[in-house]
Amino acid sequence: MNTGFRVSGFTFVELVAIILIVGILAVAAVPRLFSTSGFAENAYQARLISALRTMQERAMQDTRNSSSGTNFCYQIGILRDADSAFGPATMNFVDLGNQALSCTIMIQDDTDLEYMTATNADMLNDAVRISAGPDVIQFSPLGCPIVASVACGSSVQVDITGENTVSVCVESQGYIHAGACE
């Protein structure tokens, strides 16, 4: 009985070719889709940007006259390589006894400042390190970085390396963004 329709299907060679292509795609693509590669670096990048912007705003909001002797250092300390970590030495800019502490390159390990710090233990656990950058990023009352005692003179870049490398840039005029400085 001929109904006028022709029944066709895949040949054995076509089926083997399709299975082979799907297998190759599964081996190559699935690990990349479900991998956490790059997430840790991006998380530390976002945390550093947040910490820098918070410190920058504090520097710009301090209306005390520096001639009165209230010279706090609004800065984020940065440790590189095997000691990688970042954060402020203090967030208490009211107590005048903290002026000297605010100018040290020390990172306060306080759970209240978790959003502004990354400890060495955290970064080692995530296999991430700070591979390049200054020892400290300090902000002037204008909100721009102070580099070699010169405010608003040049840009500052910090590189965070894990499986990938991401950067944070503080432009000379104070703009803080993800990515390399131009």
Find, among 89, 76, 53, the residue nearest to 136 by Cα.
Answer: 76
Order of all β-strands in the sheet with 145-147: 85-87, 74-79, 136-139, 145-147, 150-151
Convert the pLDDT of each residue in 48-100 to its tens digit.
999 999 999 988 988 776 655 567 888 898 999 988 988 888 777 777 777 77
Measured in whole angstroms, the distance separating CA 65 from the mean position of its chain's CA atoms is 33
Task: Please give the average per-residue pLDDT across 132-139, as a whole number.
Answer: 90
Convert the pLDDT of each residue in 3-36 to its tens digit.
666 767 788 898 899 999 998 888 887 766 666 5
Convert the pLDDT of each residue in 97-116 to its tens digit.
777 777 777 777 666 667 78
